[in-house]
Structure 1
């Protein structure tokens, strides 16, 4: 659905995007992660032909961009750098302008109403968009992207301005759309949200793509057993005496190579209290912070 090779964008001497090879496959919910200022939005704008690349190749829906933009863009729903709208018009009237080239008037009105309801907006609300909250504007922007039922959605920080309930509703909507066949390319710096909905992840760090893989692969077992106990020092002593090597205490957690059942049996026989035992898995936050500058990403509001 989206492929780039050597995608690069320079602004003077600064490489905002540096030799990026994206691989977004049909059916993906692809999380494009990075700190604010890492080059995410510039990359997305190049994919849509809104900014010209300094060098490199771009394919969207199997067509070269920006050469084929006229043919490609009608099949791509996009929400980039916040929603745009006519502030004096209602949400419904704004969508009607977007859908002006669509099917007959009656079918178009029905589709506009259905799309507003889909994103949690009231089709009967006649207030002008200038009276909308930021979260409502964000929902309207998503409605505009969804209106023509595109096979590919490209969204830049779609949960911006939403409260926790709105973020959850947005997440549920995107997961449902993906199940129905929509491929989603989602740019964000919110790790917790990406981890709950994405199938593949790419991580951008100061313009460079430092991670790209299946989420299940990135967050799979590390080969260590994680033990939670109120007596970590004693657990380390018992496991080391039993022949386990590289036993590491981390607060009330002990990490040890081996099998969960064997580790648990060793500790229980020695009378060490075990609150929890099982394979250690890395969180997406662990993956990202290992691959990037931790100070930069944490400063950008990773959650």
Structure 2
């Protein structure tokens, strides 16, 4: 659905994206993860033909970009750098206007499409107030509604939950998973670790404009070969396990081994009470810490309103650049 090879973008002396090989496959919920300033938004804009690459190749839905933009983009829904709208018009009026410009057709069918997407993003009951009076979260929902108007094969979303409260994030997450289950490929750019970990099937991690990791999320979160055990009988468990314990923290023990059922049977046979037992798996945060040069200090770990997207990269001074490095 999206392929890039050697994709590079420079703004004067600043290299925002360097030799990027992106591979988004049909049916993916692909999480494009990177701290603010890592080059995510610049990459998305190049994929959509909004910014020309300095070098490298881009394919969108199997066609070269930006040369095939007219044929390809009608099949793509996108929300990049916040929603565009006429501030003096209502959300419904904005969507009706965008739909008329995009596909035309009878007003009745247009009204049905608009009502449908407003319902899907939780704005169905919104009144006729102008978009200027919308909260940031409502604007984000309106932008997502606009992206859905075409019934796209591919959704490209840049920080789509920016400004939403935890309940709003949960609702948008459920909607995107529903769309994916119905056949829509979703490309989600975010710096929210929790958002990516709960939604995505594949993950790409961008660090300083470079792709440092691209893999199935399940493979990244593979078992570590250790088992986490909780028991009130710590001394007895320690004796039974005979040197296999690597970490002891109160009633919590981390034990070498890859068969929880076998370990449980051994402990129960020895009279050890087991209150919890599970394979240890790496978290996405741990994966990112290991892959990136400065760890995950600039990533958000919990659901909630993130910082504004597109902050300039720390330490970059590029007054002559055409735009911010994002």
For 2:33, the equivalent position in structure 1 comes to 33
Alignment of 1:201-212 (within 5 A): 201-212=203-214
Paired with 2:183 and 2:90, the residues of 1 have a C-alpha distance of: 30
Deviation (angstroms), 1:27: 1.0
For 2:314, the equivalent position in structure 1 comes to none
Paired with 2:20 and 2:248, the residues of 1 have a C-alpha distance of: 36
With the length of structure 2 as denominator, give the TM-score of the two structures: 0.85
Gaps of 5+ in 2: 303-326
| Structure 1 runs, 4 residues or longer, greater than 6 Å off | none
Paired with 1:280 and 1:214, the residues of 2 have a C-alpha distance of: 18
Say what the alpha-carbon RMSD is for the aligned residues.
2.0
Q: Label 1:140 to 1:272 Cα distance change in 2 as closer, same or farther (>3 A).
A: same
Paired with 2:292 and 2:46, the residues of 1 have a C-alpha distance of: 23
Paired with 2:230 and 2:17, the residues of 1 have a C-alpha distance of: 42
2:41 aligns to what SS in structure 1? helix
Deviation (angstroms), 1:220: 2.6
Deviation (angstroms), 1:236: 4.6
Paired with 1:94 and 1:217, the residues of 2 have a C-alpha distance of: 42
Is 1:14 aligned to residue 18 of structure 2? no
2:297 aligns to what SS in structure 1? helix
For 1:46, the equivalent position in structure 2 comes to 46
Deviation (angstroms), 1:207: 1.3
Deviation (angstroms), 1:113: 1.2
1:72 aligns to what SS in structure 2? helix
The range that moved more, 225-234 or 122-131, is 225-234
> 1:270-294 CA deviation, whole Å, 9 max, x = no partner?
5544322222222222222221245
For 1:288, the equivalent position in structure 2 comes to 288
Is contact 2:226-2:254 (8 Å) kept? Answer: no
Alignment of 1:185-224 (within 5 A): 185-224=187-226
Is contact 1:226-1:256 (8 Å) kept? Answer: no
Paired with 2:12 and 2:242, the residues of 1 have a C-alpha distance of: 57
With the length of structure 1 as denominator, give the TM-score of the two structures: 0.91
Deviation (angstroms), 1:258: 4.1
2:37 aligns to what SS in structure 1? coil
Q: Label 1:18 to 1:103 Cα distance change in 2 as closer, same or farther (>3 A).
A: same
For CA contacts below 8 A with separation 6 or more, give which structure has more relative contact order: 2
Q: Label 1:21 to 1:162 Cα distance change in 2 as closer, same or farther (>3 A).
A: same
For 1:106, the equivalent position in structure 2 comes to 108
